[in-house]
Structure 1
Amino acid sequence: MKSHVKALVVGGGAVGTSIAYHLAAAGWDDVMLLERDELTSGSTWHAAGLLPLFNMSYATTHIHKYSVEFYKSLEAETGLNAGFSIVGNLRMAQTQDRMDEYMLYASTAETAGVPYEWLTPAQMKSRWPLLNTEDLKGAIFHPTDGYINPADVTMAMAKGARQRGVLIERKWQVDSYTWTGSEWQVGVTKMVEKGGNLVASEETAIITAEHVVTATGNHAQRTARLLGLKTPAIPVEHQFIVTEPDPALVEFRKTNPEHPVLRDADAKWYVREERGGWILGPYERNAPARFRYGVPDSFRADLFPLDLERIEEEYMSMIHRLPTSETVGLKDDFNGPICYTPDGNPLIGPAPGLRNMWLAEGFSFGITAAGGTGYYLAQLMTQGEAEIDMASLDPKRYGSWMTSEYAVQKNEEAYEHVFVLHHPDEERERARALRTSPAYDRQAAKGAQFGAVNGWDRPNYYAPMGFDDHASRSFRRGGWWQYAVEEAKAIRETVGLVDATAFTKHVVKGPGATAFLDWFTCNKLPKVGRINLTYALTSAGTTRTEYTIVRISEDSYYLVSAGAWTAYDADFLRKAAEDKAPEFGYIEIQDVTTQWGVFAIAGPKSRELLKSLICDADPETALSNKRFPWLSAREIELGMVPVRAIRVAYTGELGWELHHPIEMQNHLWDMLLKAGEPLGLKLVGARAQNWLRQEKSYRAFGNELGRDATPLEADLPRFVDLTKDFHGKAAMEATGIRSKCVTLLIDGPADADPWGREALYDGPSKVGRLTSGGYSVAFGKSIGMGYVKPELAVPGTKLKVKMFDQLWDCEITEDSPYDPTNARIRVSE
């Protein structure tokens, strides 16, 4: 066994072997993989091997698509047949709502180049007569999909990795990780068989590695403890059963090809053929999480007892869909652990707070994701960035507030939601009201319907008491839509209040702060008392983070960024500051997110409202353009509350953000509501705010802004100072303009708006995709933002947007179609 390698991959399942393979394929010629037992001995060995392309995530869709294509190539390279059966995937729908879901997904699939077909019940019955289709609305069919043998594909990737020089060592367990300042020292122990168990021997070693990747599957909790991290990756039981041969199926197969993988999403199961019989895999309610604190030493390639009562409903629904299966006996059963995360997506990317430590954990669809994970993670490691934006899968999307109890509750929920309708306006119920602003109860009493962001509950919209948010969800305009419209109108016509407490907030100060931030961000730094919008770039020149920077003093800055990305932003900021401190001097960084509450007051009457509360020698002029101009910040007093007021509004109206000591929030809330009552103050949630920012073409991080586009491609040259040197500048300029961000007004269906996942067409050609969508109260029609080919990014260009399997007219507008000169934001007394 080598004692020094460039990259050490820990974990010999499908994910680990793929990572090792792709690191070698990317040119790293000194890679080693360690497995504590045998290859495939984790969840890989009992996985059903399905390869579903269906996914609402743009990044995950690309990962799954790469896997499917890559697995087809393995036999030619390695000589090993991975057992890929390209039978297709038939995803059936019992309701129109489910068909709406499929149509939204289909547009996402088009943006990633995933083929699909629509089938009617009659067409399904004609091709697969064993199916009962009488209660179906239709189906979406993926002809390139199917299933694979998990062990075979893992062994094929392992052989391909060895052929490329990867050393694979089995029966070695990692017991420690130590960072020396330049590389990792990994303590390992040889594992031996004793009485059917795997136990540690006295043989130990130290492996020195420049990079380490953990792909430890069900052992993720142990890995996290060794690294001093928290992780939400905890397994959940998944059971599936295998039937005896079905005589009707055996007869059908004499003259017909194999059935596709069947998915009855409304019945919460998948079914595929298995040697003349059927495999049924349900995603039932009440499947328990396991191994909260780690996998017992005695648990190897083991299973849990089957709980047939728990899946009785799903079993009966299979008989309903495949009536000939009713008389077929059970041949085998499996109930094993599969790792989950709270949102069901894996954790892929750099570990928080650690250098050259990479995580690939929490794969609930590990076989489907393994190939693509290896490919894109290898890009991250060897090139600095992947060709797709991997932020949505970053391990730092869960901060230090996350606990094992939170992970257990949310992972169990994610499991049972695999086949639950994935409404874009969905808000899942478990582990809610966990992180709340002090005004939470007051907001709830006013009818707030909350959404979860980074563990925070924040108002999405306000509705009459007794309104059922769950029942209002839809792929079209849900019951909440009318309330969001009234909230958006209030900000445009009178005044509204938005709780933005979840914003991420950092203080950066010290002798090196100014030089560091000047290098770290691409825009000019503001003068003292002023603010600037700016971006921190990746090494590839794409957008890593968006900041509003308030300059408090010469060497003290207050940075505000998106609330969903607190740990993600903090890690990048701190690591960059550590790297540059020797050059620039001492830099102090404080995460003050939970110390400051934020209320945004916006609308034509916002100045009038605040003027009635401000404590100032001349309250009539305190908020005037002369004393408090646009894009400036001042410390003011509203009654007894000291406030850091920032004259900026994400909604594009006259307005201020009121950053206040969080312990004084309720007092400030009560004052604002009392003062706003005679002015018609309306409480406003995140959904209306999202619509309003699109009317101003304000890009949002995670939507228009991300690691797959530069600020220049986002069409933000006014926020990029090309006269100075900054991180990522050369790469940004070398990238050029591959696509360009635009705003579009859309003549869509009368009962629906885009969600920001739809494909854009110029005639028959796909030319881009939406990244945001919604409704414009200013224009009385749908609105969206997205990326198109640069030559099309001209106001007046007419395109089509794909919604509900139809093409609808849309037109590219000028940037900031509402109030393009910002006259309303700058309005004087």
Structure 2
Amino acid sequence: MSTLPTKARVVIIGGGVIGCSVAYHLTKLGWKDVVLLERKQLTSGTTWHAAGLIGQLRASSNMTKLARYSAELYLGLEEETGIATGVRQVGSISVALTEERKEELYRSAAMARAFGVPVEEISPAEVKERYEHINLDGVKAGVWLPTDGQGDPANIALALAKGARQRGGLVRERVKVTGIVKDGRRVTGVDWKDENGETGHIAADMVVNCAGMWGHEVGRMAGVNVPLHACEHFYIVTEAIAGLTQMPVLRVPDECAYYKEDAGKFLLGAFEPNAKPWGMNGIPDSFEFDQLPEDFDHFEPILENACNRLPMLAEAGVHTFFNGPESFTPDDAYHLGLAPEVDNFWVAAGFNSIGIQSAGGAGMALSEWMDKGEKPFDLGDVDVSRMQPFQGNKHYLFERSKETLGLLYADHYPYRQKDTARGIRRTPFHQYLLDHGAVMGEIAGWERANWYANEGQEREYQYSWKRQNWFENSAAEHRAVRENVGMYDMSSFGKIRVEGRDAEAFLNYVGGGDYSVPVGKIVYTQFLNNRGGIEADVTVTRLSETAYLVVTPAATRLADQTWMKRHIGDFNVVITDVTAGEGVLAVMGPNARALLQKVSPADFSNEVNPFGTAQEIELGMGLARVHRVTYVGELGWEIYVSSDMAGHAFETLYAAGQGMGMKLCGMHMMDSCRIEKGFRHFGHDITCEDHVLEAGLGFAVKTAKPDFIGRDAVLAKKESGLVNRLLQFKLQDSEPLLYHNEPVIRDGEIVGYLSSGNYGHTLGAAIGMGYVPCKGESAVDVLASNYEIDVMGTRVKADVSLKPMYDPKAERTKV
């Protein structure tokens, strides 16, 4: 007879290191009735064959925070549980074989300083001092992270499982979840079957999908999209090498290789550029501690370079040639959080070969989120709601996974675009833009014109950390919008229709603005959480007495729509994604009005169509709706056209613009213009952990309203005062470029980092945004200091402002 309970507070599906970490952290928070079910044996999927590298520096401060937490947790697990985790802080060295990689490493070192991770840039000679076995041929520089380490992956997982059991958690092996039962937007429990064929059901308040490479399939059981695909991952382990002592972890990303010394042997692993997807027809039911067939031909180029880089490998015998599957996601970031489709189904899966270093922090963050009902800090990088429904398509995942494994060690250039699985979501203007020289980027699957090539110019990115090949193209587009008129495609931005008799009351509850406005009025606004943090940054246009249009960034449409759905309560509203129903062309610049007057008999004057209002118009021989708003800081309109008339609208506007010098523009232009104007970029400058007042957006919050989410937190912050302020920075040297995460130095001390950066072509230098601590200080005090930005290890003096450096009084948008 089974001893499984019939009821649990939470059922965790999957007994790899991630599932064990979630169980550990929930029980640590005092949760009872925690049940973890593993289909075979703990660690038998991917965890058991992981390399066990524990790096601490990730691409954002919160991801770094989670990795550091993991490293610290693992160091204490052995004492807590009695299971040896093999965790050692051996340090790590990454080396660059090109100048571009050197800049990447040095920029990451600067970022590490901002995040509080010990780091040191080292010369080739210093690399050799720390790693005597390396051949320095071609090595330009290195970065040393002394607190990085390595551990025994399986034992880390088993220690976490034991910790969970010690606090009352139930961890059961050889019990497969065969079904997930739902009632509306909630799961009610799971069906299971054990190795003896016995079946049963556990009613559950929550379910967590920690099923690793089975995560996609388990998600489907609950009607939840978890896009990931398994790939083959190769490494070799040498025979014991006489005299080999403990070494740091060595990464040579330009040769796609990492090296780990363990018990007198070397492990050489690879993240090759063209990966081999696996399990296209499903993972065999018998899979347990399985290895995949060797493919020496595939691995040979890596090994050849490795024998040159570490000559002792050429002499050492190969003890193990290992090939095992790991799961990869479409954007190389893992999936964490509450599934958008279901209100009590959680996901922690798809760890892209960094599961060991991420598991502790991911388990902690997810458990706190489950416990308190809100994210402990910004997890936008990994929040599963960033994934679009189409990204669960198996053919898409197969094609994209060929690239994502290799991207772990590829050059992480700014603006780098994915090469695989492209062209899936196209706006109604797509072909027109290509016909006029557009070079496309991709976000949330949408193909978007990022810049326009000149005649005869190659239509492709030539990546670099310096000025890329499109820099002057984008500068020309920028100048067109600032000095004349430009047009660009904004169709990818999310459009969510909120309709019903309670639409006004609902939006007044869920948003910080005042939506009791006349038909045609546009409200720029934020959706806040209970801490006053920003969950969404949107414009809301009143279309009628009972209908509004909420416009969101392309990447957050699903998350923003889900946020609204979860707060409907008793409000009588219907929320519908209408993004694909309308194409949107933005016409921006001092001559925008003159262009629109050529194509429409409507009145675009301030009297009839002032800033922040929308009107229905005739356009050419069709119809459109124009919204007078701007994200570039100029006079302009966003033109909404139903998809059937979008082609006609483009042709009409484009033809009318030819006599005026109108320029087609891309997304890079939009970003460089918005940062000059100090406009915030959601996900970078403003997130769920940034208080709306500290972000400088208090003007968009109307506390005179009696009741809305976040009101108390806004009033409390007004009372207690700001702890941080979002500032705009301009480098005094016009040459260096800013991207984001560069350290901000105030009077000689690192006090923060840039949340976003771009080049300000009108202001004549790189511009950044970033938060600076200011507790007990006035704005005057904050601005009176001397500021520098650390660019690749060099401190560059910066001017600073609280008001936009470009058009601080917003006079240009209202002419």
The alpha-carbon distance between structure 1 residues 14 and 470, as it changes in their structure 2 partners (threshold 3 A), is: farther
Structure 2 spans left out of the alignment, 5+ residues: none
Give matches, 1:391-410, under 5 Å.
Answer: 391-402=380-391, 403-410=393-400
Q: Does 1:601 align with 2:587?
A: yes
Bigger mean CA deviation after superposition, 211-220 or 390-399: 390-399
* Residue pair 1:220, 1:234 contacting (<8 A) in 2 also: no
Aligned counterpart, 2:309: 321
CA RMSD between the two structures:
1.7
Q: What residue number does 1:369 align with? A: 358
Greater alpha carbon shift after TM alignment, 157-166 vs 488-497: 157-166
* Bigger Cα displacement from structure 2, 792-801 vs 108-117: 792-801
How far the C-alpha of 1:732 sits from its partner, in A, is: 4.4
The corresponding residue for 1:591 is 577
Paired residue type of 1:381: M
Matching residue's letter, 1:23: L
Deviation at 1:79, TM superposition (A): 2.3
Matches within 5 A, 1:766-781: 766-781=750-765
Tell me if the contact between 2:745 and 2:789 (Cα under 8 Å) persists in the aligned partners.
yes
Map 1:174-573 onto structure 2 (within 5 A): 174-180=177-183, 184-192=187-195, 201-246=196-241, 250-251=242-243, 253=245, 258-364=246-352, 365-402=354-391, 403-468=393-458, 472-525=462-515, 526-573=517-564
Cα distance, 1:442 vs. partner?
A: 1.9
Q: What is the one-letter code of the residue matched to 1:324?
A: M
CA–CA distance in structure 2, aligned partners of residues 31 and 469 of structure 1: 55
Unaligned runs of 5+ in 1: 193-200, 617-621
Q: How much has 1:387 moved relative to structure 2?
A: 3.5
| Aligned residue number for residue 759 of structure 1 | 743
For 1:340, give the aligned amino acid: F
SS of the counterpart of 1:564?
Answer: helix
Inter-CA distance 77–741: structure 2 relative to 1 (3 Å threshold): same
Partner SS, residue 554 of structure 1: coil
Structure 2 distance, partners of 1:466, 1:77, is 66
Give 1:687's aligned residue: 668
Partner letter of residue 36 of structure 1? R
Distance 1:182 1:639 in 2: 45
What is the Cα deviation at residue 641 of structure 1? 2.5
CA drift of 1:106 comes to: 2.1
State TM-score, norm by structure 2.
0.96
Tell me which residue corresponds to 2:708.
726
Does structure 1 residue 141 correspond to structure 2 residue 126?
no
Residues in 1 aligned to 2:523 and 2:181: alpha-carbon distance in whole angstroms: 40
SS in 2 for 1:674: helix
Q: Structure 1 residue 421: deviation in Å?
A: 0.2
Q: Which residue does 1:6 correspond to in 2?
A: 9
Deviation of 1:503 after TM superposition, in Å, equals 0.5
Distance 1:732 1:173, change over 3 A: farther
Q: Secondary structure at the match of 2:659?
A: helix
1:635-677 CA distances to partner (integer Å, 9 max, x unpaired)?
1111122111000111110000001112222221111111111
- Offset from partner CA, 1:265-309 (integer Å, 9 cap, x none): 100010111332211101123322122353221222211111111
* Distance in structure 2 (CA, Å) of the matches to 1:763 and 1:646: 44
Equivalent residue of 2:306, what SS?
helix
Aligned-partner Cα distance in 2 for 1:635–1:717: 31
Give the CA deviation at 1:471: 5.4
Q: Deviations over 1:166-201 (max 9, x none)?
A: 111111111122234696433333322xxxxxxxx4
Match of 1:786 in 2: 770
Q: Report the Cα offset of residue 797 of structure 1.
A: 3.9
Assess if the C-alpha contact under 8 Å between 2:233 and 2:326 holds in 1.
Answer: yes
1:167-178 to structure 2, matched below 5 A, reads 167-178=170-181
- The whole-number CA distance in structure 2 between the counterparts of 1:732 and 1:542 is 9
Q: Which amino acid aligns with 1:189?
A: W
| C-alpha deviation, 1:76, in angstroms | 2.4
Rounded to whole Å, the distance in 1 between the matches of 2:467 and 2:29 is 46
Give 1:158 shift: 1.0
TM-score normalised by L of structure 1:
0.94
Give the distance between the partners of 1:382 and 1:670, measured in 2 at CA: 54
Query: What is the CA–CA distance in structure 1 between the aligned matches of 2:681 and 2:300, rounded to whole Å?
Result: 45
Q: Is the deviation greater in 205-214 or in 339-348?
A: 205-214
Asked if residue 22 in structure 1 is aligned to residue 25 in structure 2, the reply is yes
Alpha-carbon separation, structure 2, partners of 1:127 and 1:91: 12
Match of 1:35 in 2: 38
Q: Secondary structure at the match of 2:543?
A: strand
Partner residue in 2 for 1:701? 682
Check whether the contact 1:90–1:141 (CA below 8 A) recurs between aligned residues.
yes
What code does the residue aligned with 2:416 have? E
Q: Distance in 2 between matches of 1:796 and 1:187?
A: 60
Aligned length: 801
Check conservation: 1:425, 1:474, Cα contact below 8 A: no
Percent identity, aligned pairs only, is: 35
Shift of 1:117: 1.2
Residue 126 (structure 1) aligned with residue 129 (structure 2): yes
C-alpha change, 1:24 and 1:731, in structure 2 (3 Å) is: farther
How far apart, in 1, do the equivalents of 2:288 and 2:276 lie?
Answer: 19
Change in Cα spacing, 1:421 to 1:281, as seen in structure 2 (3 Å) is: same
User: For 2:792, which of 793, 801, 804 is the aligned residue?
Assistant: 804
Distance 2:31 2:315 in 1: 55
Contact 1:183 1:209 in 2 (8 A): no
1:754 positional shift: 0.6
- Are the aligned partners of 2:90 and 2:149 in contact in 1 as well (CA < 8 Å)? yes
1:78 to 78, 81, 85: 81
Letter in 1 for 2:457: F
Contact 1:715–1:741 at 8 Å: present in 2 too? yes
Alignment check: 8 A CA contact 2:541 2:548 kept = yes
User: For 1:474 and 1:669, how far apart are their aligned partners in 2?
Assistant: 33
Give CA deviations for 1:119-168 in whole Å, capped at 9, x if unaligned: 11111223332211131001111111121100111111111112222111
Asked if the contact 1:529–1:552 (Cα under 8 Å) also holds between the matched residues in 2, the reply is yes
Give the drift of 1:550: 0.4
C-alpha separation between the residues in 2 aligned to 1:705 and 1:126?
Answer: 43
Deviations 1:767-812 (A, max 9, x none): 1211111111222111111111123854454311111111111122
Question: 2:247 touches 2:260 (CA, 8 Å); kept in 1?
Answer: yes
Counterparts of residues 660-679 of structure 1 (less than 5 Å): 660-679=641-660
1: CA distance, partners of 2:167 / 2:694: 37
Seen in structure 2, the aligned counterparts of structure 1 residues 465 and 280 have a Cα distance that, compared at 3 Å, is farther
Matched, 1:631 2:615: no
Q: Distance in 2 between matches of 1:587 and 1:293?
A: 42
SS in 2 for 1:458: strand
Q: Are residues 1:713 and 2:711 paired?
A: no
Instruction: Supply the AA of the counterpart residue of 1:395.
Output: V
Q: In structure 1, what is the equivalent of residue 723 of structure 2?
A: 738
Is the 1:501–1:596 contact (alpha carbons within 8 Å) kept by the matching residues of 2? Answer: yes
- Offset of residue 222 of structure 1: 1.8
In the aligned structure 2, how far is the partner of 1:416 from the partner of 1:79? 37
3-state SS in 2 of match to 1:114:
coil
